[in-house]
Structure 1
Amino acid sequence: MISSLSFINQKGEILIYRVYKDDINRNEIIQFCAKMIATKENKESPIINIDQTSFIHISIKDIIILATTKIDVNVAMVLEFLYQLTKICKAYFQGNLDENCIRKSFVLIYEILDEVLDYGIPQIADANLLQKFIQEGGIQQETTINIERLRQLTYTLTGAISWRPAGLYYEKNEIYLDIIESVNLLISRKGTVLRSEVVGSIELRSKLTGMPECQIGMNDKLLMGKQARYNKQNSGITIDDMKFHACVGLPKFEKDRIITFIPPDGHFQLMSYRISENINIPFKVNAFYSEIRENKLEIRLKIKSIYDQNIYGTNIIVKIPVPKNSVNVISASSIGKAKHEVEEQSVIWRIKKLQGDVEISLNCEIQLGLTTREEVWSKPPLKIEFQIPMFTASGLRVRFLKVMEKSGYRTNKWIKYLTKGGEYQHRL
């Protein structure tokens, strides 16, 4: 599948190079670096063909991770593997992956590559599992080998449930479920929604004994259609795209629309999804720009929180763009603090906490410096950043969370919801 895999810096230097098939040589990688990285064309397409060789790559900060092949492969799978490889590396380097980390830990990275790929075919891609037998100094060395631990590790690698080791025990059994959503929104000057979508994920942290089977039911529209009595109260939501962790039983989900799984130990992402219909927009914005004089501009802004009164938005940041030649800004707000930040070319309005169903306002008088009449201000869109606990813009809700284990222990369950601002923009 993959003939070679390389880590390359922004100068085109090869930091890591591992060959899995002999149909690719180092000179071809150097040719890629010379033609693409030197001309900065690598960002235009993740797939580049040079002399019948496919170069499939992703960029992480100043590092390019490159896979090469000369045969017809599933490119989506290769790209997914490359992104999973970055997650594995970041798990070892405390969330960071840069040239300095790679140079310091190149031996560790080579050992990781030997485990995640076998003759160019992806194998183990679970960071939690890899960290149990590959540590910072290389493969774990022990003066006395624990035979039982070795058996458990072998079972985990080769067994049907590779993501969860046997023999786990917790005195207090707990499971934490977080629904985290980001709202991407673009609204016209007249208030018409031009683009809207919610990108979300179900994050789990499992501290459970044994091999429990968990079930999660959502207010999925397809499931609601099967349950007439419930359908009268709630028609459910339509989920456009879904992606599950390997632990989820897909045939059962397709049949019953219930997420059934044996969870990995610790934190993991159970599911990611995208929704583009019937989105609950958390804020209504009215913005008015007017020229008082030739060198003076007034901005009046009203924002209403349109979520429930018992919910509070936090860490709200409103970025109101102003002309580049703004020299003096006087602002007055009903809540929070507003300040002109020259580097951002915006008035930044910060609000720590905002209750639902409340209208707030901001008035700004902007003194403009001298400029030529030929320079026309394009009025970039207003942007909003926020966090709203206990609220989902998609309307997604967990109807039930069940944990079943043969010993019948009691499980403490915690469910949280959080909606954040993604690309949340309002044209002016």
Structure 2
Amino acid sequence: MISQIFILSARGDIIINRDFRSDLVKNTHEVFYRQVKLSKGDCQPLFNIDGVNFSYLKRAGLYIVATSRFDNSPSFILEILNRVCTVIKDFCGVLSEEAIRKNFILIYELLDEMIDFGYPQLIQTEQVKPHIANEPIVIKKQTLPTTTTGRLGSLFNQGTVSSIATNRPVNSQSKKNEIFVDVFEKISVLFNASGYVINSSIEGCIQMKSYLNGNPPLKLALNEDLVIGKGENGRVVLDDCNFHDCVNTNEFDLSKTLRIQPPDGEFVVMNYRVTSEFQTPFRIYPVIEEISNFKLELHLKVKACFPKEIFASYVTLTFPMPKLASNITNELGKNASNQSVDIENKGDVKMVKWNIKKFMGDTEQVLITKITLQSSANSYSARKEIGPINVSFEVPMYNVSNLQIRFLRIDDKEKSNPFRWVRFITQSSSYVCRT
């Protein structure tokens, strides 16, 4: 049972505030924001203050918060908040502060239909849609990262549409007859100091957003060599997977084909996990040299292991420096372009942040960090304080699991030949190298 749902900006300004039961004080949003800001590091998603349970998600720089005096299931409340985010995004086209401010009447109407006196009622887009009277105000100018997309059957052709094409409301009057399929993979890798993989895993999903007229049935086919569980060498192996309720899996074991009755809005067709060995997108080779008793050098080489036709964007490497470092200088490798190195202070620790805007495949980049220690420092102890190295990145049109989409067929009785767009996106989840 939920008492309140409110949405705060990154500055703590209250944008949406819906009180369902009137059993809490009015300043709960101030209590919540104070707790978030006073927390060291990321605040835990669930906490209790003075008998009030707070649960929240952070999306697009916004805090979506639920409060209650009752002992609810934490996973249940977080799932409700996730559904609220999904429905708002489906109706507004994009989840952002500007979209929420311009569509606050619509969002209050959505919340009233979704939750009644604190009890969830209609929590899916197709359930809420028939009851909504307000039209969304579409946000035209959006500063979103662009990602290459291609038409199915010719994924690597130059004919593309902008990635913001999926940021249209599901009930938009200018509805085009098309469907978008995204294959997202988040990878976690831990390297030792020699650059060898200690453990690795992939968390992936196939996500769809349909703008098809009449929501016709779909037929989605994956790799024929796909194996769930233990497989032979050379085959695409998934440890486990699960499917959306709208997916019929009767043909999956035999032909790796899924039959889908798509609902309105964005939904996840399939979640999967991989823990078997795979080719990591980047290999990291750190070497620390002791120049003298008070001088250390870190030679950091990063190699891109994906094809040269592909590039990674938003590549950032961060690592801590010794606390007793008096001077830090950084040198980039020869012919380095679109790169920058900054030194940031986080408490009493200095962090080196290496940004690479565009990292081409089958290339390598080098950074040399020179460290001068204070006279009271011990070089052996200071050496241990360097690292670990954390890497974040995004690689469009590439997935490390080799999961592929063979075809996407649409049962369109009108034979209108709708457009089908597919994206492959690989992102880092926890990509760490020890030093």
TM-score, reference length from structure 2: 0.68
Corresponding position of 2:405:
398
- Give the structure 2 partner of residue 216 of structure 1: 220
Please give the secondary structure, in 1, of the residue aligned with 2:195. Answer: coil
| Corresponding residue of 2:387 | 380
Q: Which residue of 1 aligns with 2:109?
A: 111
Looking at structure 1, the residues matched to 410 and 296 of structure 2 have their Cα atoms a distance apart, in angstroms, of: 60
**Of the candidates 330, 347, 358, which is equivalent to residue 352 of structure 1?**
358
Paired residue secondary structure (1:134): coil
> Pairwise mapping of residues 286-325 of structure 1 onto structure 2 (< 5 A)?
286-309=285-308, 311-315=309-313, 317-319=315-317, 321=319, 323=321, 325=326
Shift of 1:290: 0.4
Q: Which residue of 2 aligns with 1:155?
A: none
Q: Summarize the Cα distance change of 1:130–1:183 in structure 2 as closer, same or farther, 3 Å threshold.
A: farther
Moved more, 410-419 or 254-263: 254-263
Between 1:88-97 and 1:275-284, the stretch displaced more is 88-97
Distance of 1:397 and 1:273 partners within structure 2: 13
1:240 aligns with 2:231: no
Aligned length: 381
Q: Can you list the C-alpha shifts for 1:10-47, whole angstroms capped at 9, x where unaligned?
A: 98999724235xxx7225x8799869966968944626
Preserved CA contact (<8 Å) 1:390 1:417: yes
Shift of 1:379: 1.3
Secondary structure of 1:263's partner? coil
Listed as ranges, the matches of 1:39-50 within 5 Å are 43-44=43-44, 46=46, 48=48
Query: How far did 1:350 drift?
Result: 2.3
Instruction: Measure the CA separation in 1 of the matches of 2:103 and 2:318.
Output: 44
Structure 2: segments with no counterpart, 5+ residues: 138-168, 346-350
Structure 1 CA distance, aligned partners of 2:111 and 2:419? 38
Output aligned runs, 1:15-414, within 5 Å. 16-19=17-20, 25-26=23-24, 43-44=43-44, 46=46, 48=48, 55=53, 57-60=55-58, 63=63, 65-68=65-68, 70=70, 75-89=74-88, 92=92, 94-97=94-97, 108-119=106-117, 120-126=119-125, 129=129, 133-135=133-135, 173-219=177-223, 235-242=235-242, 244=244, 246-249=245-248, 258-264=257-263, 269-309=268-308, 311-315=309-313, 317-319=315-317, 321=319, 323=321, 325-333=326-334, 335-336=336-337, 339-343=340-344, 345-346=351-352, 348=354, 350=356, 352-356=358-362, 358=363, 360-362=364-366, 364=368, 366=370, 368=372, 370=374, 372-373=376-377, 376=382, 378-414=385-421
Question: Sequence identity of aligned pairs in percent?
Answer: 20
Residue deviations 1:81-120 (CA, integer Å, cap 9, x gap): 112213444564952249x967x87655432221112351
Task: Provide the C-alpha distance between the structure 2 equivalents of 1:348 and 1:379, rounded to a whole number of angstroms.
Answer: 15
Q: How much has 1:8 moved relative to structure 2?
A: 7.4
Shift of 1:354: 1.8
What's the TM-score once normalised by structure 1's chain length?
Answer: 0.69
Q: 1:215 to 1:386 in 2, by over 3 A?
A: same
Q: Deviations over 1:56-80 (max 9, x none)?
A: 5114357461243647x65433321
| Amino acid aligned to 2:304 | S
Q: Determine the C-alpha separation between the residues in 2 that align with 1:169 and 1:12.
A: 34
Task: Describe the shift of the 1:74–1:44 C-alpha distance in structure 2 as closer, same or farther (beyond 3 A).
Answer: closer
Task: Name the CA distance, whole Å, in 2 between partners of 1:257 and 1:49.
Answer: 49
